[in-house]
A and B are shown apart, each in its own frame.
Chain A
Amino acid sequence: MRALIRILATLIGVAVAVAGVLTIIEVLWAWWRPASAPLWVPWPGWLDQASTTTWQDTGTRVTAALVALAGLVLVLLAASARRHHLALHDPAPDVTVTTSSRSLARVVGHRVRAETGVRSASVTATRGHVTVRAVPAPVDGDETLQPRLLAVVRDLVDDLPLREKPRVTVTVVSSRERREHQPEPSRSRPATPGLRPGS
């Protein structure tokens, strides 16, 4: 998002600057030689067209809606381009430590998969919430798996010096249930090792 906003800001800047230059040139040209105006931009034609279309014409309304929509998209993009780091406690004055939500998901995922009775697990982590979906080993009819995993993940998250402690949710999906309901696996991000470690 932050790379996109940089490109967008460049394009917007160039567009605004070009609009400014064209305005200056057209105004000066129309001032100097009113008879041969316009120079490049056919603004008298636009003016004629705008004096025949009214505000309630479909064309005007569609254009207005498109402009408003584009503006909304820009505002949302600008709002979403904030920093997405998870802050850790400062180990010393003048030192700020951060990590990524991906890192947190990786740590939790490795820990959960290392527990006995877990066949697979997917973890989604944000600043305020860690969600674990675990699939138990098929033979194991272990009722205590969910509370055990919850305690393990809570301990692990508490042990990390995160400034904001995320809430922890652990769901254990039984293999039978999984086969019947086919829960969507696409929404949860599997925290497999090697997921773009540098990002």
Chain B
Amino acid sequence: MSRSSHAAVARSATTERTATAVVGTLALLAGLLALVVGAGWLGSDRATRPVADPVAVDWLGGSGVLGRLLALLLGLVLLALGVRWAVRALRPEHHPEVEFDDADGELRVSARAVTEAVQDDARGIDGVSRARVTLVGTEQRPALRLLLALRRGTDVRAVWSALEHRVLGRARDALGLERLPAAVHLELDAAEGHRVR
């Protein structure tokens, strides 16, 4: 299995999942630890101490510059992490422009032009009722994502070979790329004439 075509199957949600999992794990551990302390499992003496323990408060207050700098550092880390997560989650998926050299020099092809051509090719395959194509990845390593709806009774293997020889081969040739990873999602037995809700 090729990693780059596998990555094009769907937009990555790794950052979002990591951020949620990290915050969730921290909250879970903090809550459980507080419950354990409250239940007296770390000593009944500890359970009856105030939440803002005077020892800790005095130490922090008496530490002067160090405590403040630590608090400032914590604030900066939170700010940087939070902004990074929010920006990553809100940013729309990147659709690269493809660049290649022709006789006159460099030519940029918009992602839209590429995908429309591939989409038309894919719709021409026997048994394909709908096709949606997007170009994903980076400028250096673009990849195609194809969403094909197949009519009932279509032979999946026939669609595969048509895809490989007619659609993807042509797309590679047209773009002058040796490699163009592709992720194909098939909706089998898709009903025609029904609108996507």
A positions within 8 Å CB-CB of B: 2, 5-10, 12-24, 27-28, 30-31, 47, 50-57, 60-61, 63-79, 81-83, 85, 88, 90-100, 102-104, 106-107, 110, 160-161, 193-194, 196-199
Q: Across the interface, do A64 and B38 meet the contact criterion of CB distance under 8 Å?
A: yes
Q: Interface size of B by Cβ–Cβ distance < 8 Å? A: 89
Q: Across the interface, do A12 and B189 meet the contact criterion of CB distance under 8 Å?
A: no
16 A-B residue pairings within 8 Å (CB atoms): A16-B82, A20-B79, A23-B78, A28-B72, A55-B37, A56-B38, A64-B32, A78-B17, A88-B186, A90-B5, A95-B183, A96-B1, A96-B6, A96-B181, A103-B188, A103-B190
Q: Across the interface, do B79 and A197 meet the contact criterion of CB distance under 8 Å?
A: no
* Contact A98 B2, CB 8 Å, known A54-B51, A60-B38: no
Q: Across the interface, do A18 and B82 meet the contact criterion of CB distance under 8 Å?
A: yes
Chain B residues within an 8 Å CB radius of A77: 20, 24
* Contact A8 B185, CB 8 Å, known A66-B31, A85-B10: no
Q: Across the interface, do B82 and A13 meet the contact criterion of CB distance under 8 Å?
A: yes
Partner of A20, one of B37, B76, B89, B196: B76
* CB-based nearest A residue for B78: A20
Task: Give the top 6 A-B pairs by smallest Cβ distance, nearest first.
Answer: A68-B31, A74-B24, A17-B82, A71-B27, A20-B78, A13-B86
Which one, B41-49, B102-110, B112-120, is touching chain A? B41-49
- A82 to B: closest C-beta gap in Å: 8
* Contact A12 B182, CB 8 Å, known A23-B78, A106-B188: no
Partner of B24, one of A51, A75, A107: A75
- Per the bound structure, the CA–CA distance linking A82 and B31 in Å amounts to 26
- Per the bound structure, the CA–CA distance linking A93 and B164 in Å amounts to 10
Chain A residues within an 8 Å CB radius of B196: 196-199
Chain A residues within an 8 Å CB radius of B188: 99, 103-104, 106-107
Q: Across the interface, do B81 and A16 meet the contact criterion of CB distance under 8 Å?
A: yes
The answer to whether B62 has its CB under 8 Å from any CB of chain A is no
Q: Across the interface, do B28 and A71 meet the contact criterion of CB distance under 8 Å?
A: yes
Chain B residues within an 8 Å CB radius of A90: 1-2, 5
- B125 to A: closest C-beta gap in Å: 13
Q: Across the interface, do B152 and A110 meet the contact criterion of CB distance under 8 Å?
A: yes
- Per the bound structure, the CA–CA distance linking A133 and B120 in Å amounts to 40
Chain B residues within an 8 Å CB radius of A57: 38
- B196 to A: closest C-beta gap in Å: 3
Q: What does the 1/0 interface line of B1-31 toward A look like (CB < 8 Å)?
A: 1101110111101011111110111111111
Q: Across the interface, do B194 and A95 meet the contact criterion of CB distance under 8 Å?
A: no
* Contact A85 B9, CB 8 Å, known A6-B16, A55-B48: yes
- A39 to B: closest C-beta gap in Å: 13
* Contact A55 B82, CB 8 Å, known A20-B75, A110-B152: no
Chain A residues within an 8 Å CB radius of B147: 198
